[in-house]
Amino acid sequence: MEIKKVGVLGCGLMGSGIAQTAAAAGFEVVVREVTNELCERGFQGIEKSLAKFAEKGTITADQQREIRGRLTGTTEFNALADCDIIIEAIIENLDTKRDTYRQLDELCKPETIFASNTSSLSITEMMTATSAARQQRFIGLHFFNPVPIMKLVEVVKTILTDEAVYETAVDFGKRLGKVPVRASDKTGFIVNRLLVPYMLDSIRALEEGVGSIVDIDNAMKLGCGYPMGPLTLGDFVGLDTTYYIAEIMFNEFREKRFAPPPLLKRMVLAGLYGRKSGRGFYDYTVDPKNPTPMNLL
């Protein structure tokens, strides 16, 4: 089966990045959001990102226009009916996702592949909201932020995923210009299984006074060649999101390494979500490009 038309559910940070990437790879893309305002906000992000690529000369002005022309926003589920693949990047709430999949299953053509961009929820639990035939066409496609830049996509299979569907999805990942890695439906897949304990440990190191925020970040950035230190990365991913993923992983595996540290919980309770709220381990409110470390202990 050849994928030509791509549907994206959700035009937030991840959904808009996925839509942009698919359109840049030459696919016709329909993005569905709950309201026109949310759709417009997502498209503004896409335009900003495309402008960055055009400024750098990665794409020409013509390509910028063509990519934009392949993207359509909608608030209607019906507009997704004839898509060959649907990539869902809506709120990380299992009930909402299951409800959405139930509706889409009735609406979409039988061949449509369903893919979730969830970072930590079970693909199998979403899949069971659909009919037996669709369950074989249900996978995970987990992208990384910022999607237009990060080269990886995790392609996740369940115990019911049809082999040919899975290979189509792996090939689709390559056509998007990403490097696909194969993973099975175990909570956190490959990246978050390794990344989340590392990020949580960096917070525990801070709590235990091993080093300051800046020193912990510089240690991993300069000592290991990572693009960002772990605390900066937490602010970038969102501390509320990190906490939420950690809770799911801890509940699944009951292992201490996935347990959210008390400091993380308190920061989330206090509304320190990282970059998106203006403050996290760093304060971005004065100069976002040169944030200052917070006094948290």
Let me know: does 140 contact 159? Beta carbons within 8 Å: no
- Whose Cβ is closer to ligand 3HC: residue 233's or residue 264's? 233
Instruction: Find the catalytic residue in 117, 120, 154, 202.
Output: 154
State the residue number with the nearest CB to ligand 3HC. Answer: 119
Footprint of ligand 3HC (CB under 6 A): 49, 52-53, 56, 119, 144-146, 148-150, 192, 227-228, 233, 237
- Whose Cβ is closer to ligand 3HC: residue 7's or residue 140's? 140
Least Å distance, CB 59 to ligand 3HC, is 10
How is residue 80 annotated by DSSP? G
Let me know: does 13 contact 46? Beta carbons within 8 Å: no
- The rounded Cα 174 to chain-centroid distance in angstroms is 17
For every residue of 27-46, DSSP letters joined together read -EEEEE-SSHHHHHHHHHHH
Instruction: Find the catalytic residue in 16, 122, 192, 202.
Output: 192
- Residue 295 a catalytic site member: no
Least Å distance, CB 148 to ligand 3HC, is 5
Instruction: Find the catalytic residue in 49, 119, 120, 202.
Output: 119
- Whose Cβ is closer to ligand 3HC: residue 80's or residue 115's? 115
Least Å distance, CB 41 to ligand 3HC, is 15
Rounded to 10 deg, the angle between the 191-207 and 213-224 helix axes is 140
- Whose Cβ is closer to ligand 3HC: residue 141's or residue 237's? 237
* Structure tokens given for 32: 């569905």
CA–CA separation, 185 and 182 (whole Å): 10
Least Å distance, CB 42 to ligand 3HC, is 12
- Residue 255 a catalytic site member: no
CA dihedral over 22, 24, 25, 26, signed as positive or negative: positive
Between the CA of residue 253 and those of 26, 187, 193, 194, what are the distances in Å? 40, 9, 10, 13
70's enclosing H/E stretch is none
- The rounded Cα 126 to chain-centroid distance in angstroms is 16
Let me know: does 201 contact 173? Beta carbons within 8 Å: no
- Residue 142 a catalytic site member: yes
Let me know: does 141 contact 116? Beta carbons within 8 Å: yes
Return the SS3 of 152.
Answer: strand
Instruction: Find the catalytic residue in 49, 88, 122, 142.
Output: 142
- Whose Cβ is closer to ligand 3HC: residue 25's or residue 228's? 228
CA–CA separation, 218 and 250 (whole Å): 28
- Whose Cβ is closer to ligand 3HC: residue 3's or residue 239's? 239
Least Å distance, CB 9 to ligand 3HC, is 17
Number of CB atoms found within 10 A of residue 164's CB? 11
Least Å distance, CB 269 to ligand 3HC, is 20
- Residue 192 a catalytic site member: yes
Active site residues: 119, 142, 154, 192
